[in-house]
Every structure is written in structure tokens, then in C-alpha cells.
Amino acid sequence: MEEKINISLPVEVEYIIDMLYKNGYNCYAVGGCVRDSLMGEKPKDWDLTTDANPETVKNLFSHLQTVDIGMKHGTVGIIINDKVYETTTFRCEKGYGDNRHPDAVEFVRDVKEDLKRRDFTVNAMAYNRKDGLLDFFGGRRDLQYKTLRCVGDSKSRFSEDALRILRCLRFSSVLGFSIEPETALGMRESVQGLKNISAERISSEFFKLICGKDARFVLRRYKEIFKILFPEIKPLFETKIKYRDYNGVIKERTLWQYSAGALSFVKNYQEKDHEYALRFAVLFHCLGSPVMEINNITDCGFETLSAAVAEEILLRLHCSNSLSETAVALIKNRSADISEDKASVKRLLNKFGYEKTFLLFDFWQCIYRGINIPEIKKRYFASLKCSEMLYEIVRNGECYRLRELNITGKDLISAGIVDGKIIGSILNYLLNMVIEEEVKNDKETLMKKAKEYFLKN
């Protein structure tokens, strides 16, 4: 006897399904939420699919707040307890002239038709309590074997909508699933369609992808697909570097293999934009190296060149300025001095602020880790020490910027120094001495030094 699947639905979802049922309509939880529930994960959001048309959904839930998310495509958002439940009418899609949008959508009566238009078998299951799990395309089996497989013929599914290629790679990276061979082939055969996908959609998928637990495998195995998005990476496939593994054996790998591998050392950050910038910098910090080799450029540093190429890519992806600035700053400082003393950590803190300095130390640790070359190992251990010092400085509230200096412009004015410009240079002079630990950060000492400076200058 087939095992009865039971998924525990949130009360809000039960409520929406019940309301539609009472009025003679079908409704199911569908897609990612069913997939995640079957995997024992908590879904981020719950999407629903129904045979009621969007106007009917709006009328039935008129006592609640609803939003027209895409009426033409059948999607109404029902808001309950501040959460949006996207409810979409069963539909099929017709014609994809541009590799990204269906030319038309058509509402249908049969849920199977709706599931058939979905991208992968694991995303094409629906569930409600009455009918149990609807799985027409072997989604559960693929989930069990951690496999991504297109619903239907992969080549046509990817050429209908090339974004599915990136979704496939992203799911593979994030879920740790392998891509079934026919699906992988279909993907490779449809890559040119990626050129029609908007920068925003590419960047949204790509950043999620590089945060996945299997990002390094996906980036290496499907490098030819990434080359379509970022032609700048091609030389990284051809430039080999030697390294010594932990048994002392000399091995070789390409710069792309190395950069993708370094991603596995990046920690998860609460602040996603920081994690995106860090991961992007780790993956793209070598872009200048092959260019230098090929063009024999000697007057422009490796880091500056890598940063310039990376910046162009970020611009093309329409990334936010702050993400782009952070990633570029990290790449530029790839080989900055690492001194294991507090004063230099404080100088970095003063220059970059807390967030970027923190990221810079993590960046160094990711790109240096696993390279068994004495000089690099030294930098790696030094950067670990710097991270410790950073924690200590922040925990103790030690001074590294004017805000923590125990003297202010007002104090100097009270002491009779009134010229704003001179006040500014005195404060910076004092801050510098405090950072270098030449004087203590106490008011009396600082005032004494301020007066000395004033009289001398």
C-alpha cells in the first residue's frame, strides 16, 4: 500500500484552502514549500495554486487584505498575519519567443496541467490534506535521490526560459542535488538563451548560487555556462597554479578551481549583502592575473586590475553601490600589509570601518587557507591573529576613530583654540598617537599633547 504523505500546513494555508473548498474550488500548497516540507525543512514561504480565477480569489478573501501581484498571470497575494500567501490560478504557458517570458498564459481546469509547466520534478508537486500529495512526474523519487530533473523535455524547457538554467544550478548548489544527465545536457545546449535574461534576475540567482553549500562543485563542473555570463573568467580556466598539499605533494589546479574552492571557507553571514560581497571577491579576486600574463602588463598591479574587471562585472549585474564598493575594496586589498600588531589593525579599522575590516580578515583567511606555501601560510596565520585583535579592540571599546577619542573639539575650544582647521588637525594628530599607542587615551594627557602641538605649529 502506498504510504500516505502528511505535510503539516500552517493554519493560514489551511484556512485559504478550506475557504476555497467550501466555495467549490480546489486549492493546493505547491512548489518550493512542498519540496522543502518533504525534505524536513521549514519553507520560507507558502505558495498556493487553485482553479478559482484571480477575481474569484479576490472576492472570496475581500474580508482580508489582498494584493494584485500579477492578475494577468493569475497571482493574487492574500495577506494574513502580515505574511503574503501567493495564490495563483492553475495555468499553462504558451510560446516563449524571447527565452524568458511566455507569450501568453492560459488558465486551465486541471492541476496536472499546472504542475506540468513547472521547472523541475521536485518543484512540481502539490499537496492538500484531502487529496494528499500530487506527484505526477516522480518528484518524490528525485527528492530521495537528490536529483534535479526537468519536467518534460529538458532542451525545450530551458530554451523556453533560460532563467531555468540558473535556477537549476542554484538549486544544485544550495540543496546539494546533482543534475540528471539529460537535464544537464539540455542546459548546456540552451546556454545562449542566457544572453536574453535581465541583469537583475541573473544577479539574484547567481548570488544565491555562490552561497550554496555545493557552490564550488557547480562552478567547476558547469564552468562553460558561467563563461557565457562572465566571459572574463575564461583565462582562469587556462592558468594553472602549483600548490603543495598537506602531504607535501606538489599539485596543480587552475585559478578557477582554486577560486571556486576557496568559497567553501566562507562563513554564513546574517547580513546577506556582506556575504555576497565577500563571496564575490573570493571568486573573482584573480581576474587580473591571466590578463597580466597575456598582455604582459607590468605597470598595473594584479589587485588593481582584478578589482577593475570585477567592478565591471558588478556594474553589469546592476549590483548595489555598497555591495560593489565592498567587493572591490576587498579585492584591491588582497595583498595589503598584514602586521600582527594592534596599531595596524586599528589603522585598518580607521580606514575601512568595522564591517569592511572584519570582511577583509575573513577574505584573507578564505583565499590563503589550504595553500601550503610558507609565505601564504604566514599571511593566513597573521590574518587569524588580526581577527582576534579586532574582537579585542571592539570588545574593550579601544579607540580607533575620533568618536572614541577622549577629547573633543569643544574641549579644545574651551582651552582657547578656536580655529576649526587647527582643531581638526590636532584631533587627527592625537588620534594617530592613540592608535600607535604613543599616548594613553585620557583627557588630561591628550589636552597636554594638544597644547604642545598647538604651540609648536
232 touches, from Mg ion, ligand ATP, none (C-beta below 5 to 8 Å by class): none
161 touches, from Mg ion, ligand ATP, none (C-beta below 5 to 8 Å by class): ligand ATP
Shortest distance (Å) from residue 245 CB to ligand ATP: 36
* 174 vs 422, beta carbon nearer Mg ion: 174
Shortest distance (Å) from residue 298 CB to Mg ion: 50
Task: Tell me how far CA of residue 263 lies from CA of 32, 59, 269, 363, in angstroms.
Answer: 26, 49, 13, 10
Count of positions (residues) in the chain: 457
* 46 vs 230, beta carbon nearer Mg ion: 46
Shortest distance (Å) from residue 11 CB to ligand ATP: 20
Q: Which residues bind ligand ATP (CB under 6 A)?
A: 31-32, 44, 47, 118-119, 123-124, 161, 163-164, 167
Shortest distance (Å) from residue 133 CB to ligand ATP: 15
Closest CA relative to residue 433, chosen from 409, 410, 400:
400
164 touches, from Mg ion, ligand ATP, none (C-beta below 5 to 8 Å by class): ligand ATP
* 32 vs 301, beta carbon nearer Mg ion: 32
* 105 vs 277, beta carbon nearer ligand ATP: 105
* 89 vs 123, beta carbon nearer ligand ATP: 123
Dist CA 71 CA 76 (whole Å):
7
Dist CA 150 CA 260 (whole Å):
26
449 touches, from ligand ATP, Mg ion, none (C-beta below 5 to 8 Å by class): none
118 touches, from ligand ATP, Mg ion, none (C-beta below 5 to 8 Å by class): ligand ATP
* 99 vs 123, beta carbon nearer Mg ion: 123
Q: How far is CA 211 from the centre of its chain?
A: 5
163 touches, from Mg ion, ligand ATP, none (C-beta below 5 to 8 Å by class): ligand ATP
Sheet containing 83-89: order of strands: 65-70, 75-80, 83-89, 47-50, 27-30, 126-128, 132-134
Shortest distance (Å) from residue 337 CB to ligand ATP: 42
123 touches, from ligand ATP, Mg ion, none (C-beta below 5 to 8 Å by class): ligand ATP
342 touches, from Mg ion, ligand ATP, none (C-beta below 5 to 8 Å by class): none
Q: Which residues bind Mg ion (CB under 5 A)?
A: 32
* 44 vs 410, beta carbon nearer ligand ATP: 44
b (16+ CB within 10 A) / e for 30-64: bbbbbbbbbeeeebeebbbbbbbbbebbbebbeee
* 173 vs 441, beta carbon nearer Mg ion: 173
Shortest distance (Å) from residue 103 CB to ligand ATP: 15
Find the residue with minimal CB distance to ligand ATP: 32
Dist CA 308 CA 288 (whole Å):
8
Shortest distance (Å) from residue 14 CB to ligand ATP: 19
Lookup: cell for 358: 572584519
Shortest distance (Å) from residue 115 CB to ligand ATP: 8
Find the residue with minimal CB distance to Mg ion: 32
Shortest distance (Å) from residue 239 CB to Mg ion: 39
